[in-house]
Amino acid sequence: MRVVQLVPSLSVGGAERVAALLARAHAAAGDAVAVVALGAAAGSWIEAELAQEGVAVHPLGKGPGLEPAVVGRLAARLRALRPDVVHTHLHVLKYLMPSLVGLRPRPVVVHTLHNLAREEAVAADRLVQRLCFGRGVHPVAIGVAVAQSAAELYGQQPAAVIPNGVPVGVFAEARAQHRAAARAALGLGDGDVLVFTAGRLNPQKNHALLLEAFADRRLAGATLALAGDGELRPALEAQAAALGGRARLLGVRRDVPALLGAADLFALSSDYEGNPLVVMEAMAAGLPVVSTEVGCVPELVVPGTGLLVPPGQPAAFADALVALVADGPGRRAMGEAAAARAARAFDVALMARRYCALYSTLRRGPGR
């Protein structure tokens, strides 16, 4: 198969990582795969990893805002690549659909919905998606909660529900390979409990709630580390400073597997989510999860692998953190169950096989 993964850019984000992981899996399976980014080269580690794997990346140089000229550049690139499948992510359909006019043979178009439908795109892009779904574009949801939200908003069920996947082996090995060195770098002793989280410092992730919960005096002996960057960093740094060094903002890190290996539990305080990769990565690393009960997280963190609390309730979040920080044996048992679940259900190879099966089914569909 000739497959194009089409993204707005290759800056670091969940959707971009899924597209890159799929591209690498296609390449490993012998498919002719390319990643086309509407924007300019981002210089991200995602691009570097794709280059190392020999996956062709084609940036089209789009700048900020609407840029109709990109349609012509995209059309030319698709004529050269002649894909059997174009797999789209985020807000690219308004550029893709006019670029397909006159393209023969016409590729199958699959669009992954990466978040709850009303959160996944702005109003204009939701309108574009409503027009496209059922007119040659096949939506795929990354979880049951996303599928339900799409059915409510767009009036049709997605073509498939395919959960995200991660390279489970990379994270499963992190504890054995990196724990001692990573904890030493953070100044932690063997008996110290490290709570870790990673993600963009933006309103969706609501790190302020996590920091408020961590201020609970019952957590005075634990340490919180936050990896990531974003527009809320100055406010969160001020909030963390009030905890007297117990909470640390680490900035953007490429060594997240090592940091997960160093941690004792993972926390996610988001107000809403799709199917977050970082939760699967944490579970693969053998960490129990304390998370708000949002989006597809309950489909990942099943009983015995972590604790879920209602969103927007710092006291309840603090109670869940205290329960796991105080119970070492219970925490470790949950981590073992989380790792076993990740090995069974979260590997990127499983995600790739499901998408390939969908591509093949759609290529054999009526009129093809």
Q: How many CA atoms lie within 13 A of 34 on its CB side?
A: 19
C-alpha–C-alpha distance, residues 133 and 145, integer Å: 18
pLDDT number for residue 135:
86
* 123-148: pLDDT as tens digits: 999 999 999 997 889 999 999 999 99
* Same domain membership, residue 157 and residue 240: no
The reply to whether 188 and 314 lie within a common domain is yes
Identify the domain containing residue 305 by its residue range. 168-345
User: Does 181 lie in the same domain as 126?
Assistant: no
* Same structural domain, 223 and 359: no
Angle at 5 between CA 60 and CA 202, to 5 degrees: 80
User: Distance between CA 34 and CA 45 in Å, rounded?
Assistant: 17
How far apart (Å, rounded) are the C-alpha atoms in residues 18 and 5?
10
For the segment 226-234, the average pLDDT, to the nearest whole number, is 96
Examine residue 15 and state whether it is found in any structural domain, yes or no: yes
pLDDT in tens, 270-308: 999 999 999 999 999 999 999 999 999 999 999 999 999
Would you place residue 329 in the very low, low, confident or very high pLDDT band (cuts 50, 70, 90)?
very high
| Domain match, 120 and 221 both | no
202 and 334 in a common domain: yes
In a shared domain, residues 187 and 224: yes
Q: What are phi and psi of 83, to 5 degrees?
A: -75, 150
Q: Which of 190, 274, 194 minimizes the C-alpha distance to 227?
A: 194
| Cα-based distances in Å from 245 to 16, 201, 330 | 33, 19, 27
CATH code assigned at 253: 3.40.50.2000
Q: Are residues 31 and 129 in the same domain?
A: yes
Residue 158 lies in a domain: yes
The answer, yes or no, to whether residue 368 has pLDDT greater than 70, is no
pLDDT digits (tens, 9 = 90+) for 256-270: 999 999 999 999 999
Peptide bond into 105 cis (omega under 30): yes
Residue 118 lies in a domain: yes
Any domain includes 353: yes
Task: Please give the Cα distance from 117 to 133 (Å, whole number).
Answer: 13
Could you tell me if 207 and 323 lie in one domain? yes
Question: Above 80 in pLDDT, residue 366?
Answer: no
Taking only the tens place, the pLDDT of each residue in 158-213 is: 999 999 999 999 999 988 899 999 999 999 998 999 999 999 999 999 999 999 99
Number of structural domains in the chain? 2
- Paired strand residues for 7: 37
Q: Does 74 fall in a domain?
A: yes
Question: Stretch 338-358: mean pLDDT, rounded?
Answer: 96
pTM passes above 0.95: no
In the prediction, which pLDDT does 42 show?
86
Q: Which residue has the tokens 């691009």?
A: 47
Strands (E) in 228-301, as ranges, are 247-251, 265-268, 289-292
* Residue 281 lies inside a defined structural domain of this protein: yes
Q: 158 and 266: one domain?
A: no
Residue range 220-229, pLDDT digits in tens: 999 999 999 9
In a domain, 368, yes or no: no
pLDDT recorded at residue 9: 94
Lowest mean pLDDT among 83-87, 101-105, 224-228: 101-105
Residue 287 lies in a domain: yes
Distance CA 38, CA 6 (A): 8
41 in the same domain as 145: yes
Same domain, 153 and 175: no
Average pLDDT estimate for 28-47? 93
Say if residue 367's pLDDT is above 80: no
